[in-house]
Structure 1
Amino acid sequence: MATWNLSGNYAETCSCSVPCPCNFLNAPTEEDCTAWAAWHIEEGEFDGTPLGGLNVALALNSPGHMLETKWRVAMYVDDRAGEAQREALQQIFGGEAGGLFGELKGFIGEVAGVRSAAIEFRNAGGGRHFSIEGAGSADIEPVAGEGGQAVRIDNAPLSLSPGQPLTVGKAAAVSLSDHGITLGKAGLNAFFAPFSYTSG
């Protein structure tokens, strides 16, 4: 199996209330959970192929408790990636190369689509913004806690950034419509955090 590592920043929003109960291994707020996530890779490589500076996004629908159902997912890979980079990112985020996504792969019941797209990911006023050409976008604001400081969750049982505190946010604006996966209600759950992944 390939040796790889990635680090950078990620953000997500979903159809659950704040904070998302799925991260605590509970049932979603509604009957299902639709999540929209994006990653900006600052540093990384896959068997010597450099991956720094590239972006990836995933759309996901779980028709019930995330640990008791099969997910429907769509993947978007930065259209600036070369062929080797694109294949590497598809293997990593598709779970074929082990690591965190290898652990999650068993929950995927259907891959609705995989395609290249222009992906923007940036810090925005203390929150995060990401957009995926032809699929949608999200504007995320941090939730203010005591003293106006951002609320964070440490050591969540289910997290896309293991080992890192999740900053709790909410979607100021969100749109997602692709492959039958849709999300469009503002004010619901969001998280963002740095990430560090390895092949294990």
Structure 2
Amino acid sequence: MPNRPRSTANTTGTSHVPSVGRAMAPPRAFRGPSKHGQRTSQLQFSRYSPLIVHGSAMRILQLSTVAGIVPPESRRGRLTIRPKLARLGRVLRSCSPEVPMATATKTRWQMSGQGYEFCNCDFGCGCNFGGFPNSKDGSCRALVGFTVTRGRCGDTDLAGVTGAGIFVWPKAIHEGHGKAAFIVDPATTDKQVEALSQIFTGQLGGMPWELLGPTFQVVGLLKKKITIEGSGRKSTFRIDGVGEGRGDALKNPVTGEDHIVNVDLPTGFIWKKGEAGQGSFRASAAGLSVEFNKTNWIYYQYDWSNAA
């Protein structure tokens, strides 16, 4: 994680949490990445996308992208690299040729539970199929809730934590430049917040956050009561003073009956089996605002970790 000024927010107690809808400055570990971090995310995403160049040439190009020698847009096979050798050498010394930098973990973590994903894409979400949003303006705007059934980060127990994120990316997620505001239930302890902050910003490695974390800047953190009603694809995820997402099944246009659709992603790194439907959601916090009706919504079970 790049060095940055220390936050002035008090992270040792709970008195820093606002009692109303005003977001506090996120703790240092919850700060978003620099532009360097966004370059790293493009490198990492290339591991999961079709590539034009391969082998050692690809690795050199990846390392050069991390070092800032080659702009991300040059990664698709253009090898006109004029490296600053000293800078590239530092990168080569800092990571193994076989292991991306973000996987150099310090603390083991694991989380499993339920996810509630509302976004502005059309039903099913184009990102799940072609890697790019199929929203009307090509952006990715989402309200994503989660509950932790079982989880641990180092010696911190994460079981029972409930939270959410408001995410805004101007284009596809892997192109970066996103912003995020996180919300956790008031029962969440400071140690749990610190653990989640390191996980969600990709500092500890592990999928999916080693890829997602470097693509956004965290602009706020709130503690708000969160309630969940219903189950599966017919769930409602509500955050006091922030907003809510209401999920429903897709409908048969002739009969009006539920049209049940599931999405199966055997190699998915956020989730592998999702209950797809239509959702309406609105949320506003820390200067971010999203509101969409009858767009993509997916309920899923997740199992994330930084285990090798």
TM-score scaled to structure 2, two decimals? 0.58
Amino acid at match of 2:262: R
> Is contact 2:233–2:277 with CA below 8 Å preserved after alignment?
no
Corresponding residue for 1:185?
Answer: 292
Aligned residue in 2 for 1:48: 155
Are residues 80 and 158 of structure 1, via their aligned partners in 2, closer, same or farther at CA, if it must alter by over 3 Å? same
Corresponding position: 1:7 with 2:112: yes
Deviation at 1:102, TM superposition (A): 1.7
Paired letter, 2:261: V
- Which consecutive unaligned segments of at least 5 residues does structure 2 have? 1-105
Q: Is the 8 A contact 1:169 1:190 kept in 2?
A: yes
**Letter aligned with residue 274 of structure 2:** L
Which one of 23, 33, 36 corresponds to residue 128 of structure 2? 23
Pair 1:54–1:67, CA change in 2 (3 A): same
| Cα 1:41–1:59 shift into 2, 3 Å | same
Q: 1:28 to 1:159 in 2, by over 3 A?
A: farther
Which amino acid in the other structure matches residue 156 of structure 2? T
Q: Deviations over 1:155-194 (max 9, x none)?
A: 1776532xx21111111x4221223322222211101100
1:19 CA drift (Å) = 2.0
Residues 43-81 of structure 1: CA deviation (Å, up to 9, x unaligned): 111112211111121111111222224211111122101
Residue correspondence of structure 1 range 118-157 to structure 2 within 5 A = 118-124=225-231, 126-143=233-250, 150-155=260-265
Q: Which residue number corresponds to residue 58 of structure 1? A: 165
* Deviation (angstroms), 1:139: 1.0
Consecutive aligned runs of 4 or more in structure 1 exceeding 4 Å deviation: 156-159
Higher strand residue share: 1
Is 1:168 aligned to 2:276, yes or no?
yes
CA contact (8 A) 2:143 2:281 kept: no
Distance in structure 1 (CA, Å) of the matches to 2:210 and 2:230: 28
Q: Residue 92 of structure 1 corresponds to which residue in structure 2?
A: 199
Give the % identical residues: 24
Determine which structure has greater relative contact order: mean sequence separation of CA pairs < 8 Å that are 6+ residues apart, divided by chain length.
1
Code of the residue aligned with 1:102 in structure 2: it is E
Residue matched to 1:106: 214
* Inter-partner Cα distance in structure 2 for 1:64 and 1:157: 23
Q: Of the two, which has the highest radius of gyration?
A: 2
> How many residues of Structure 1 are paired with residues of Structure 2 in the alignment?
195
For residues 290 and 241 of structure 2, what CA distance do their matches in structure 1 show?
Answer: 14
The alignment partner of 1:106 has SS state of helix
SS in 2 for 1:89: helix
Amino acid at match of 1:120: T
Does the Cα contact within 8 Å between 2:220 and 2:285 map onto a contact in 1? Answer: no
- Could you tell me which runs of 5 or more consecutive residues in structure 1 were left unpaired when the two chains were aligned: none
Cα distance in 1 for residues equivalent to 2:158 and 2:277 = 28
Q: Residue 23 of structure 1 aligns to a residue in which SS?
A: helix
- How far residue 9 of structure 1 moved from its aligned partner, in angstroms, is 0.4
SS of 1:87 mapped into structure 2: helix
